[in-house]
Structure 1
């Protein structure tokens, strides 16, 4: 999503947060199926479509939105930490002219993502634990109860179990993003600044698909580590037993085959298009409301620019201009802002 200087920082944050919240909620059933497949619970033994039927039969519709609140709540602190860290890292890597190479930009984004993941990782563990349990016979009642029970029963480190795989997975993820980025001009046969919204949407889907597929084995093992616990029924429903990260990789490949590291990839791939589509659409809708409130467009339902308004001005600068013109023309009888401009 391209930065729009006509929005304040808080407005941009709210737009991204709302878009992420809505898109995650709508695509939550696919996320539940994906995570159950990664962990290897009994729901996923018979394939992609059967997993939906088994979850519905055992837990009802509610079962498709388990852990969604934890996932959504994670968005806001994650976005805030990621944005702050990314800005600082980019500033450090810029040259005298303010230029930063694509590799350094992607490295800054990856490192910022790792820092943000560290700050919000306990919520990701909470999401996994809530998803793998049966909501009709729950071990955990709420987000706070889950965090508290894991901390008291398994210790603080249990809330960060598998975090190192987030760091390791960042490398193939970044490589996938960079590979797509470097070939966009060849794909569309035109420079990036001429891309239409539809082209940017397709680019986002392609980058997400390639990057997530490359880093998927790391996420699969990470989910198994988050789920496994001696205090849960059937050790959390994990399909293999292991003592650590390397042992988990070995046991999965040995007992389930190397392709099982990509279990749930079907659900994840199907999820990409609606997720990215809703993310971009909701962001644009929220952005239009903010632009209308700031006075840049004539209606939140259209992109028609307000006549006479300098679109290069920031929100605070535009507000100052409005006050100045209002004071200068006070008592002149002119009621239209467009006329005063």
Structure 2
């Protein structure tokens, strides 16, 4: 999947905050598409008439706020997910590096998959809360807020309900990783040049293409997962799910039997349309935050451009650069005192 590139001129906390803020902004802006996608996957009545009519029905029944249901839970999930994912990924990569500090692409993808699994396990209850909040009606809500959703599910349905469908996260990771690998292995053929010559625009297209292929391959697993998250005997209409089932396998069977195999890709249109604006906003917002941090650290002359500060060694880390500045400042101050003393 497309991801922002690491810049050693940022501190760890700055990188984390830039990624988090960019993720929150892009998720919030594209939330209407996410709402339509999840409602289509669950099978609520809003999405029976197709993609465009879904927006109209949601607006008529729930108003504008209906397009941002569950967005808070989705945004809250970003920070712990990113922290756990980065920490786990670095540890796994460090274990599999050779003597020269390199790692094969297969192992890097595997490390990314395992890190994603660990992060998903830590934050999965928030994903369940997001689904429940999106599927319910704004006019007759069962849940009020993220905390109330989590506590209500735990109290009425038990801890297993907060992890219902989690096994599909692991199963869906395999086709997702295969899709990413297949795209990145053929990029040189697509552009007819080696990867190190790719422009930022090419890298952005590559990321969107990889995300599109990977998400399409793993989409049936996510559809069943969303149905399992939404279904509950304690909710009106069993949570709004369009089929009733007793477990993961039975859910696949019932969906294919009653709706057809293509219904496993319900909501794919909204998901595909969402990819380009989501990653575009993610990269743009990240770069804007990054420019502000680089300006604050002293690497560039303005937070509005990447024009490098004259005389600054860009290879130094933030702490090393500040130490060098203090050294030069003290040195110039000392030489000034010395020349003053000599004059007297």
For the aligned pair, the TM-score class normalised by the smaller chain equals over 0.9
Q: 2:83 maps to what in 1?
A: 80
Matched, 1:318 2:321: yes
Q: CA RMSD in A?
A: 1.0
- Work out the CA distance in 2 between the residues paired with 1:190 and 1:310: 31
Moved more, 35-44 or 191-200: 191-200
Which whole-Å deviations, capped at 9, do the CAs of 1:78-130 have from their partners, x for residues lacking one?
00000000000001111111111100000000010000000000000000000
- Work out the CA distance in 2 between the residues paired with 1:53 and 1:285: 34
Matched, 1:46 2:46: no
5 Å-filtered alignment, 1:200-239, equals 200-239=203-242
Matched, 1:267 2:266: no
Deviation (angstroms), 1:135? 1.1
Matched, 1:190 2:210: no
5 Å-filtered alignment, 1:272-291, equals 272-291=275-294
Structure 1 unmatched ranges of 5 or more: 334-341
Which whole-Å deviations, capped at 9, do the CAs of 1:147-189 have from their partners, x for residues lacking one?
0000000000000000000000000000000011101111112
Which whole-Å deviations, capped at 9, do the CAs of 1:176-216 have from their partners, x for residues lacking one?
00011101111112222221111111011001100000000
Moved more, 262-271 or 197-206: 197-206
Structure 2 unmatched ranges of 5 or more: 337-344
SS of the counterpart of 1:329? Answer: helix
Matched, 1:294 2:262: no
**Taking structure 1 as the reference length, what is the TM-score of the superposition?**
0.97
- Work out the CA distance in 2 between the residues paired with 1:248 and 1:228: 11
Q: 1:256 maps to what in 2?
A: 259
Query: Pick from 25, 36, 39: which aligns with 2:39?
Result: 36
Runs of 4+ in 1 over 6 A off after TM superposition: none
Query: Pick from 2, 5, 14: which aligns with 1:2?
Result: 5
Deviation (angstroms), 1:298? 0.4
Matched, 1:174 2:177: yes
Deviation (angstroms), 1:332? 5.5
Q: 1:20 maps to what in 2?
A: 23
Q: 1:336 maps to what in 2?
A: none
SS of the counterpart of 1:330? Answer: helix
Deviation (angstroms), 1:287? 0.4
Deviation (angstroms), 1:267? 0.2
**Taking structure 2 as the reference length, what is the TM-score of the superposition?**
0.96
How many residues of Structure 1 are paired with residues of Structure 2 in the alignment? 334
- Work out the CA distance in 2 between the residues paired with 1:136 and 1:329: 68
- Work out the CA distance in 2 between the residues paired with 1:230 and 1:170: 29
